Every structure is written in C-alpha cells, then in structure tokens.
C-alpha cells in the first residue's frame, strides 16, 4: 500500500468511528447525570416538580397532567434511547413539547437524570 492509500484508509476508519459513536447511547457518567439535573431544573421542574412527582406549579392546571416521573409508567418506554427519542419528538396532544432545540448531549443527560429520579437517586453511577 502506498502511503497516501494508508492515510485514506485510516481517515475512513476514523470517520466510521465518529459516525458509530454519534448513534450509540453515550455511557452514563456522574458528569452526564449532573448536567441532566441542571437542565431538568431549568426545563422540566416547573411542570414535573423538583423531584419528578408531577407536582410542579406550572403543571397543576394542565390536562393531561405532567407525568409523575418517579411512580407512573412511560408510554414511550424506559430505556435511555426511548426517553431521548421522546424528548426529541415531544408527545402529541399534550404540553410535553419537543426539546429538539437542546443539544443531543443535553438530551442524553436529561434521559439519564429522569431514570435517576425514578431510581430515587439510589444508584450512584
């Protein structure tokens, strides 16, 4: 193989790795959960409440009511990727709007924090 051929093969491999890592769930980390907590307090707590119990001030008059994230089921599923997809799309016919304007990283952070709230903050990682 010529040197330029090797370089182009390496470049293709690197591009593939980048593409793969963008589509996979990022690994859960303390940083990601902390980022999710901060974002949750800004974007979600008004409706879902500080602890996720569905008792935020802005949520009281809504129909349907904001979900109790800790105790109630999720129609779109409980896997991080399913929560991520739900946040990106929103839920039709409700005030659970799309949060597509947030970065992908922030949506993953929120997804992990939602699961953390469900676990009652018991899991440390």
Instruction: Return residues touching ligand HEC (CB under 6 A).
Output: 40, 43-44, 46-48, 58-59, 62, 64, 66-67, 69, 74-76, 83, 86-87, 91, 94-96, 99, 110, 114
**Helix or strand run (H / E) with residue 96:** none
Complex with ligand HEC: residue 13 or 119, whichever CB lies closer? 119
Complex with ligand HEC: residue 5 or 75, whichever CB lies closer? 75
Cis peptide before 64 (omega within 30 of 0): yes
Least separation in angstroms between CB 91 and ligand HEC: 5
Least separation in angstroms between CB 23 and ligand HEC: 21
Least separation in angstroms between CB 121 and ligand HEC: 15
Q: How far apart are the C-alpha atoms of 125 and 121, rounded to whole Å?
A: 9
First to last CA, the chain: 46
Two tokens, residue 30: 């303390």
Complex with ligand HEC: residue 8 or 42, whichever CB lies closer? 42
For residue 53, CA distances in Å to 33, 46, 90, 111, 118 come to: 18, 11, 19, 16, 9
Complex with ligand HEC: residue 17 or 38, whichever CB lies closer? 38
């Amino acid at each position: 193989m010529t040197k330029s051929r090797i370089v182009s093969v390496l470049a293709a491999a690197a591009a593939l790795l980048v593409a793969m890592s963008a589509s996979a769930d990022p690994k859960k980390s303390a940083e990601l959960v902390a980022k999710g907590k901060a974002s949750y307090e800004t974007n979600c707590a008004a409706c879902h409440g500080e602890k996720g119990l569905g008792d935020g001030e802005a949520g009281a008059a809504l129909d349907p009511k904001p979900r109790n994230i800790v105790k109630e089921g999720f129609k779109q599923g409980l896997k991080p990727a399913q929560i991520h997809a739900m946040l990106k799309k929103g839920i039709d016919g409700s005030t659970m709007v799309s949060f597509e304007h947030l970065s992908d990283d922030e949506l993953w952070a929120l997804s992990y924090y939602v699961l953390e709230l469900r676990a009652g903050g018991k899991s440390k990682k």
